[in-house]
Each structure stands twice: as structure tokens, then as C-alpha cells.
Amino acid sequence: MQNVSAPHVVNISDLRSLAKRRLPRAVFDYIDGGADAEVTLRENCRVFDDVTFRPRQAVAVPNCDLSTTVIGMPMDMPILLAPLGSSRTFYPRGEEVAAHEAGEAGLIYVLSTLSGCRLENVKAATNRPAWYQLYLTGGIDAARSGIDRARAAGFSALVVTIDTPVAGMRERDVRNGTKELLGRGVSMLPYVPQFLARPRWLFDFLGDGGLMDFPNVVLPDGMPLPYADVSAALQRTTVTWKDFDWIREAWDGPIVVKGILSGEDALLAVDAGAAAIVVSNHGARQLDGVSATLRALPEVVAAVGGRAEVLFDGGVRRGSDVAKALSLGARAVLVGRAYGYGLGAAGGPGVARAIEILSADLTRTFKLLGCAAATELDRSYIDVPPTWTTGHPTG
């Protein structure tokens, strides 16, 4: 087990380095990589540099209240753990491990449809609310079945991801032979040494059952969706706004729409019944060249006008990033890679360390800003570039 305590691990970048050391290249690049030339991947992180703080000086803040609520659900900190598909390949029982650590920290865990662990087991692993993120992989009947199981298991909200009509072109996966490895034929042989070079990971992976399927997507023949069938399944199951008619009938709880980058789509999501929306470009893993999510956030907040809560994800590596997103109008942020690196580095202790780092960062940032509570942050605490507007130009 790698040591993830201070001073060995000071920030999320340190967890990334440890994950890279433990994981085979194909698995690490699945967490780390983005689409095409990875322009948006880099921009998601860089854009935080464009926003500067305006602290209140000579203000004593002995205690910071990081708590908030998201669609009525209390959290100890304005951070949710985002859905990360295939987390079981990062670490044994990866989704259950991450859900447990989220609960221990008083956070909400969001489970991907494309999980290697049964959703019932994941919900049982956390003592806090958990949300179920929905893909239509396997078809509408399989999705309905997943929704029914999520309700019965006690999931509190349904997160509908709308930005995956096809899988993005992730060039690292091509170079790492992901398709050949999943095919498990002779063509996989040139790519096998990367796994043999990580014996500790390989021992854990094989001990956890080896290559998983997706037990939360049950096909018409009663079998779970095989791992190799995901890309083809995505192309056959595009989510459209019309689908929200039957989704609202199937799920009587709050619906969160994830994948919004414009005011126009934000309004459509509200009209479709969203209690909250997530400003997200899928971690820059779908269409390269789209807006960094922080840049899109003001437009979406302005368009929604309080009719739904606005959440945010993309590029968060520090507590100061969280504070900037909250100041721009986000109710809370979702973090994916930040805890994914921790999970890949050391399992539960790695996830816990990622959360601990973000919590300490956020508390320190609040005190330096002279702000006592997460719910008090607003635009007065930041400066944004004058070229940033709150809406898309017309004409």
C-alpha cells in the first residue's frame, strides 16, 4: 500500500503521480486522458487561472461552515464524488470503496451505470445519500430495470447524462490497445506487457475477478452487458429531450441533467423537469474544443435564474477551484479525476486523502477570503475577465 499521508502526498497532483506508478498505462490513461488533442482537457484546469480572488482583509474567521444542501440533501462540504465508470479496474470493488469514503466524509456519491459493482452493494456501502447516473446502454428496457433497482436500493436522485450519443475519440485508448485487449485475441499480445509491469495491480485485479462486466445493465437475455460492448451500446441509445417523458414516469424522485454547456440547453433541461443541472463537458472526454466548464458556468447560471440548482464539474484539483465555482453561482461541484487518482493510487485511503486535501484547501481559502460559510460566496469575492459574458451573443 502506497503512503498517501502528508508529507508524502500534499496535493492532488501527488496522488496522480502515485496512481501512474501503480496502474498499467491503459488504466491510468483511462482516468487521465481526454478526447482528441485534449485541448479542452487542458483548458478545464487552466481556466481557473483567469479568475482571481477579491479577499476581505482584517476579517476574523475562526470557524468555516463548509456545509450546504443540494436539492434538499445535506452535505458536510459542497463536493460530490462524480460518476467514474469502470472504477473497479482502478482498485478492487472500486465503486463500493469510493462510496464508503464519500459517506464517511459526509458527501454524496454518484454511481455510474457503467459500474463494475452492483448498485445495491454500492448504496449499502455509504451512510449518506447516493445518486444513480443513467445511461441508456442496453436499451430502454434495461434502463427502466436499472431505475427500478436504484429506487428499491434507496438512491436519492437520478442523474441523466446527455452528452454521449457516441463515445469520444480518446487517442490514448487507441495507442494503448484498449480495443485489442478487450477483444482478448492474438492481437492483444503486444499490449500485455504493460500489465505484467504492474504486478501489484495485476494481483489485485485478478483477485477481484479480472475483467468485469456491467451488472447494472441487464440485457434482454438476462445477462449483464459485457465490458467490450460499451461503445456500440452508446451509439444505439442516444438520450433526447423526448426521453424525459418516460424517464419522469419511471422515476418519481429528483432528476439531475448532466452535460449542459449553454443557456439554451439549460432551459430545455429545466423544462424537462430537472431539479438540478450539471455544467459539464464529460471531463473533456467527448467533444474536444468545447468550452471549459468554468467559462460556461456564468451563462448557465444566468439562464436558469434560480429555477433549478446549478452544479459544476471539470478541472477541479484544489479547494480554491471549488471556491471559484461557488462564487460564480454553482451550488456545489462534482470531482472525478481528483478522487479517481486517489482510488487508483491506494484505494480507500487514497480517496479519503483526496477529500481531505480538498477540504483543507477549501477551509484555508475561506479564511483567507474572509468568508465564513460556503453559502455566502458570491461574485463579489472574485474578478472575472471583462470578455466573459453571461449569455451567448446573438445576431
296 exposed, middle or buried (CB, 10 Å; 0-12, 13-18, 19+)? Answer: buried
The answer to whether 282 is a known catalytic residue is: yes
Question: Alpha carbon 190 to chain centroid distance?
Answer: 32
CA dihedral 229, 257, 329, 167 (to 10 degrees): 20
CB 279 within 8 A of CB 300: yes
Distance CA 349, CA 142 (A): 34
By DSSP bridging, strand 73-75 and strand 68-70 are antiparallel
Among 4, 42, 7, which residue's Cα sits nearest to residue 22?
A: 4
Q: How far is CA 216 from CA 3, 167, 212, 273, in A?
A: 33, 19, 12, 25
- Spatial distance between the Cα atoms of 55 and 370, rounded to a whole number of angstroms: 6
SS3 133: strand
Catalytic residue among 8, 100, 282, 392: 282
Distances (CA, A) of 274 to 242, 295, 299, 395: 13, 22, 17, 29
SS3 per-residue string spanning 297-308: HHHHHHHHCCCC
What residues act catalytically? 282
